[in-house]
Amino acid sequence: MKKLIGLIAVLVIGLLMNANVAAGFSAWTVVILLIGFVLLIKGADFFVDGSSSVARQFKIPGLVIGMTIVAMGTSLPELSVSVTSSLAHHNQLAVSNVVGSNIFNLMVVLGCSALFSVLYVQKSVIKIDLPFSILAAAILAVMALVLGKVNRVCGIIFLVLFAYFIWSMVHRTMVSRKTPAEEAEEAEEDEEIKILPLWQSLIYIIGGVVAIKFGGDFVVNSSVTVAKTIGVSETLIGLTIVACGTSLPELATSIVAAHKNELDMAVGNAVGSNIFNILAILGIAAVITPVTVAVENIIDIFVLIVFSAIVWLLCFRDKKLTKSKGIVMIVMYAVYLVYICVR
């Protein structure tokens, strides 16, 4: 009950503060920035607790929850940006938004999560899910090189592939049902995880998503206000703060999941979000209005493919991401940031 009251308090703060985000830079802006981080962290906390409880109640693997419910929930900012821009026929930024977020998810979200706890990566992620995300990025690269855009037919192809991916996840879950002995052993390991009533779990999940959404908005908008005030160029703001801002939900959720030892959910969130971003978000955006791909975006797509292959290689041998590997991934992203700022 205390956590439920806390969630209500978090959401009320978000609603009260939302109208003040657009105000000019002042001490109030810094306060809103800090509140944004609180909303992100607490929202992710509730979201992970609710999702974990649902997973345990219905005996759904944490990886599946991470790659579906959690991945889709944390990708709401990317979906909102891409669909809104498509409806307004200004969707040139859709590819930048998706590709930039995917690179951030891969290198920073997984990298930072590995700093908090060693991430053990399941065989299915190495053999199926990561290669599938690389395939999705490769198909996007071919479309960009050949057509220079993602048209409606391409969008439908993406949506069909996404439907197949969801079906394959469900199929794998059904096939790999645990024996009663394995379920009993897992139940003993999960005793520390509190199983919440279903209604409370749903409130945690929905409320957590809303708090994460508000928190992301506060952090991005306040950071932009501060950056403009101290003289940082809008180009640099767009390439850093705004691009990374839409991935703050994934970052907060994966770090909290790793801290709570929900390692499959942390990995599934990042990988699942990347697949969802390309196949579902770009698919929906392209069906609404064909999405133009800029030359710079083609380079970024190939960077995404290379980074994905590197992460796959890091996981392939010992099936885990350690703190040292996480540091390497974060440094590689920092180098990429320097590149996009000077190109």
Tens digit of each residue's pLDDT (9 = 90 or more) over 28-85: 777 887 787 778 777 877 877 787 788 777 777 767 777 777 777 767 666 766 676 6
Tokens of 34: 């800090």
Q: What is the pLDDT of residue 256?
A: 78
Q: Which residues contact 216 (CB under 8 A, 6 or more apart)?
A: 36, 40, 77, 245, 246, 248, 249
The answer on pLDDT for 224 being more than 50 is yes
Q: What is the pLDDT of residue 204?
A: 86
Q: What is the pLDDT of residue 215?
A: 77
Mean pLDDT to the nearest integer, 300-308: 94
Question: In terms of C-beta density within 10 A (0-12 exposed, 13-18 middle, 19 or more buried), how is residue 45 classed?
Answer: buried
Q: What is the pLDDT of residue 11?
A: 46
Q: What is the pLDDT of residue 171?
A: 80
- Between 329 and 229, where is the model more confident? 329
Tens digit of each residue's pLDDT (9 = 90 or more) over 131-184: 999 999 999 999 999 999 999 999 999 999 999 998 888 787 777 655 555 454
- Between 311 and 88, where is the model more confident? 311
Mean pLDDT to the nearest integer, 249-255: 79
Rounded Cα distance between 294 and 213, Å, is 28
Q: What is the pLDDT of residue 158?
A: 97
Mean pLDDT to the nearest integer, 267-292: 89
For 62-193+233-342, the fitting CATH number among 1.10.3720.10, 1.20.1420.30, 1.10.3470.10, 1.10.10.10 is: 1.20.1420.30
The answer on pLDDT for 128 being more than 80 is yes
Rounded Cα distance between 86 and 95, Å, is 11
Q: What is the pLDDT of residue 8?
A: 45
Work out the mean pLDDT of the chain and round it to a whole number.
78
Q: What is the pLDDT of residue 91?
A: 62
Extents of the domains making up the chain: 62-193+233-342
Q: What is the pLDDT of residue 194?
A: 65
Of 130-134, 162-166, 220-224, 258-262, minimum mean pLDDT range: 220-224
The answer on pLDDT for 277 being more than 50 is yes
Q: What is the pLDDT of residue 141?
A: 96
Rounded Cα distance between 3 and 49, Å, is 10
Most confident of 45-54, 87-96, 107-116: 107-116
- Between 213 and 6, where is the model more confident? 213
The answer on pLDDT for 96 being more than 50 is yes
